[in-house]
Amino acid sequence: MSGRRPAGIIKAFKVLAVENYIQWSVSNPIQTAVILEGWERNVPYDTSLERGVQNGREGNNIDYWLYH
């Protein structure tokens, strides 16, 4: 769960529907919403490859998933 109350979730869905990010009617369950646009508009996104440490201890990156 998102930690939000149902009223807050419904309010956010109404905003997303008005702004045409989703297709949803208030009279239908939230599960029936259809995503029309999955990214924010007019926001520049960095399309370059991520550069960083790929290997953790013992040469693999699995510690993060096991211990955090």
pLDDT of residue 17: 96
Q: Are 17 and 24 in contact (CB under 8 A)?
A: yes
> Is 31 inside any structural domain?
yes
pLDDT of residue 43: 83
Higher pLDDT, 66 or 5: 5
> Is 58 inside any structural domain?
no
pLDDT of residue 1: 47
Cα–Cα distance measured from residue 41 to residue 47, given in angstroms and rounded to the nearest whole number: 16
> Is 19 inside any structural domain?
yes
- Tokens 């096991």 belong to 66
Range of the domain at 16: 1-38
Cα–Cα distance measured from residue 53 to residue 9, given in angstroms and rounded to the nearest whole number: 37
The DSSP call for residue 8 is H
pLDDT in tens, 1-59: 456 888 999 999 999 999 999 999 999 999 999 999 988 888 887 776 665 555 555 55
Residue 22 phi, psi (nearest 5)? -135, 160
